[in-house]
Amino acid sequence: MISMLFRDVADYFSKIEAASSRLIMTDYLEELIQKTPAADVKRIVYLLQGRVAPNFEGQEIGFGEKLIAQGIAKATGFTRSEVDTLFKKIGDLGSAAEQMMEKKKQGSLFRENLSVEKVFTNLKKMAYSEGTGSQELKIKLLAELFNSASPLEARYIARIPLGNIRLGIGDPTIMDALAIMIAKENGLIPKEVKSRVKEEKTKKVKGQKAKGEKKSDEEKAKKKEEKLEDEEKRKARQPLREKIEAAYNVFSDLGEIAQMLKDGGLAGLDKVHIAPGTPIRPTAAERLPGAAEIIEKLGTCAVEAKYDGFRVQVSKDGENIKIFSRQSEDITDMFPEIIEAAKVQLTPKKCIVEGEALAFNDATQEYYPFQVTIQRKRKYEVEKKAKEYPLKLFLFDVMLVDGKDTMNLPLHERRKILAGMIKPGNIITLSEQKIISTAKELEEFFEEKISQGLEGVMAKDLDASYIAGARKFAWIKLKRSYKGTLDDTLDLVIIGYYKGKGKRTEFGLGALLVASYNDKKDTLESVAKIGTGMSEEMLSQLEELLSKTTTKKKPLRAECELTPDFWVEPKYVIEVRADEITKSPMHACCKEGGVGLALRFPRMISIRTDKKPETATTSEEVKHMFSIQKRVSLEAADYTKGAAGKEKL
């Protein structure tokens, strides 16, 4: 089958990048996928993700800006210095490549029309190229693409190897586009229903109204009609979207899922099944303010110690052991002791289990804090750190045993299966669990775990199945809040930063603008401006990371009324602690009636290298935490009033 021309793909990428709303972006994306030949669909999805393979295969293209700049210089005849100067001026290597291709000083001896297959193949060769001469080969392969590229194609050929295509599209938007495609194919969305793509084209032809000019009644009616159409489309695609996401949750390869849908429609998802080697997206926990609320919600439940380490999924297929992070990244090579223990201590020939790995001092029987455990996540000096901080793996769930899918079994049955498949040993053990029926028992167990240096506890519904990739009240974590203050931490996405003042001038960074993740809209909503909690070393590290991802305009996924000195591509997640959540007209998190939610006195704790924007604290979670905080605050106030009254008596 003939591959699609890359110039057509680049044209759609450009339209998506320039789109004025997420609805229009999604419509353009659906149109692109619809027109893409089946042979190219998987490739297109991977390129949208800034990859050449699913995340769990760990094959990143691995190009730095210097190598991209060398490729641009080699293809255009400009010097490296000229490329670097333009890049520094406009802040985007893709746009720099586009401008230099328009003014290139040399022609190429051989030029071909680039296909998606050609671009993807060259990028894949770059990703897999290692050892002596690999850098030269990568530059050659990249320059080969630039030689045949149009200026617009060059923009994206330069960006993709950096893992940052700058379209503002995450996995949820890709799944929305796939759902719309299937809905149209099944007649659930009439083809005559006007898409926002057509609306956008009409706007560009007619031009926009002057700022402040009032809309006519006709325009208001049209806007209302479009809103109804969008709602109809949402209703039609939502059930399909849920099925696509359910498949993605147990088979973390969105490119392959897109291929299945393209080849066989919704029935194509029947091919999806869980198997060792392909990670399952982990279930997530909800929050409640106290032990009484948890018992009221779950009744008699299983309560486990909440370990502050690496949440890992261990996949065993005979002697082949894979270890995946909560982000479905392959981190096998980082934990050699777990690999060896899994071969010996896990009795099934094939299985998928989940647990928490953390540094543990056997001599003192003490858990090390996360700041110590995080040192084990490294590609180099692995053996040295393994001896310094050996890990213990506490298993708490099982999804597959010798070909049997256990995810739909109730928790109490899964626990029995898990307990029966672990041989005694020094590395792998069962997580501590207690069956609890009263708030008093839960509170006592919680206090015991806190005194041991753990985060808290996790209460679980004994009859619940394993709900991959979802946040449900089947699992509830407990971290105490006092007097309405916020005692839990949040994982937030950096969307911009401010220049340093005073002592911080030398670091080039003084404060961060951070956002929560709206998983319904696939957007990032500002929630705080953070200027405390960062050491000088951390400031330097952050400036070095963020300066490489600056962008002239606000990221497409960001919703924010504040304007930092520098916008950045949403890539890095940090752990944040604050005194409380307050209402604020300045921030976009859960904004209604001009008022959103914000953090009061926020401070940075650490950079969460194990998280990505899509797994940051959601806006809905922030809203829930705010409601819990208000409730605890009112209860504390009532208690204080009652105590004061007793004193008077």
Q: Any residues with CB less than 8 A from the CB of 371 and at least 6 apart, and which? A: 606
Q: Any residues with CB less than 8 A from the CB of 70 and at least 6 apart, and which? A: 80, 139
Task: Note whether 242 and 269 are within 8 A (CB).
Answer: no
C-alpha 285: how far from its chain's center? Answer: 16
Q: Can you spell out the DSSP letters for 228-250?
A: HHHHHHHHHHHHHHHHHHHHHHH
C-alpha distances out from residue 620 to 287, 293, 517, Å? 11, 19, 9
Task: Note whether 49 and 156 are within 8 A (CB).
Answer: no
Decide: helix, strand or coil at residue 478. Answer: strand
Active site residue 306: yes
Q: Could you give the CA distance from residue 24 to residue 213 in angstroms, rounded to a whole number? A: 23
What amino acid occupies position 177? A
Q: Where are the alpha helices (DSSP H) in 129-216?
A: 134-148, 151-159, 171-185, 196-206
Task: Note whether 116 and 43 are within 8 A (CB).
Answer: yes
Structure tokens at 644: 């004061």
Residue count of the chain, please give it: 649
Annotated catalytic residue within 42, 138, 306, 322: 306
Buried b (16+ CB within 10 A) or exposed e, 358-367: bbbeeeeeeb
Structure tokens at 45: 């999805």
Residue 486's closest CA among 585, 387, 385, 629?
Answer: 629
C-alpha distances out from residue 30 to 26, 180, 181, 266, 356, Å? 6, 7, 6, 15, 39
Q: Could you give the CA distance from residue 99 to residue 431 in angstroms, rounded to a whole number? A: 57
Decide: helix, strand or coil at residue 618. Answer: strand
Write out the H or E segment, with its range, that includes residue 266.
none
Task: Note whether 533 and 604 are within 8 A (CB).
Answer: yes
Q: Could you give the CA distance from residue 165 to residue 29 in angstroms, rounded to a whole number? A: 14
DSSP letter (8 states) at residue 464: P
Helices (H) and strands (E) in the chain — how many of each? 21, 22
* Residue 210: Cβ within 10 Å count: 6
What amino acid occupies position 7? R
Sign of CA dihedral 577, 582, 585, 588: positive
Strand-strand pairing, 566-568 and 490-498: antiparallel
DSSP letter (8 states) at residue 586: S
* Residue 216: Cβ within 10 Å count: 10
Q: Could you give the CA distance from residue 513 to residue 147 in angstroms, rounded to a whole number? A: 39
Instruction: Give me the active site residues, please.
Output: 306
